[in-house]
Amino acid sequence: MSRRQSGKPLWTAVDQYLGDLFAAHDEHLEAALKANRKAGLPAIDVSPLQGKFLQFLIHVTQAKRVLEIGLLGGYSTMWMARALPRGGRIVSLEFSQRHADVASANLKRAGLLKKVDIRVGPALENLPLLAKERGGKFDLIFIDADKDNNPHYLEWAIKLARRGSIIVVDNVARHGQIIEAKNPAGDIQGTRRCLKLMASDPRLSAFAMQTVGLKGLDGFAAAVVIR
């Protein structure tokens, strides 16, 4: 069996095949990705199947309150917002006003903006404010921003969760660099520390899974709060 098809790794074609089957784009998802690229946003949106997986988690848990750390152009947000029950809401934290503007336009076009509450600024400034608001605990928290701060985001996620809430952390393999204990890069160190906390915190039952696909070798970690 050939490993490559027309110069692409075989897993790219497999991800394409599975994505076309299970996570086909409609006009709004397509328009969002197009707008993100046109605006020069980095092409680091979740893949279609990863978006569908987040949607799956929301259906399984019947999540009504979702927290996303890292909005970008709102592509992952769109997948999740579509799975929310009536009255469900996503709070999404984003550092960049420009990214938030692109995301707002994408969500508005898709009729989803009313389900999303975008907070612009450094997430570590908005997380304590969210905790003070007493809007209720979050059922699902998706951590997908600057990886250097992943240990802090995990701590806040646990604070903002209840027993049974799910925490998902994106990008935990980083093309394999995650195994480089001495790699000084902040994103690698931040994610390694976060994974260690997730694996050892008695309040969590957690796992991590590496993935290959449209975005190369990467992975995600997930935890359920058990106490």
CB 184 within 8 A of CB 137: no
Q: Does 167 bind ligand SAH (CB under 6 A)?
A: no
Measured between alpha carbons, how far is 172 from 219 in angstroms, rounded to an integer?
Answer: 5
Residues 220, 68: Cα–Cα separation, whole Å? 15
**Chain residues 85-114 in contact with ligand SAH, contact rule CB under 6 A:** 93-96, 99
Q: Is 170 in the site for Mg ion (CB under 5 A)?
A: yes
Under the binding rule (CB under 6 A), the answer on residue 76 touching ligand SAH is yes
Residue 116: both structure tokens together: 């999303």
Residue closer to ligand SAH, measured from CB, 146 or 155: 146
Site for ligand DHB in 39-58 (CB under 6 A): 44
Residues 6+ apart with CB under 8 A from 222: 166, 167, 168, 169, 206, 207, 208
Residue 209 φ/ψ region, left for φ over 0, alpha for ψ in the -120 to 50 degree band, beta for the rest: beta
Tokens encoding 209:
């899974």
Q: Closer to ligand DHB at the Cβ: 108 or 177?
A: 177
For residue 87, the minimal CB distance to ligand SAH (Å) is 23
Q: Does 144 bind ligand DHB (CB under 6 A)?
A: yes
List residues binding ligand SAH (CB under 6 A).
44-46, 70-72, 75-76, 93-96, 99, 122-123, 144-146
Chain contacts with ligand DHB (rule: CB under 6 A): 44, 144, 170-171
Q: Which residues bind Mg ion (CB under 5 A)?
A: 144, 170-171
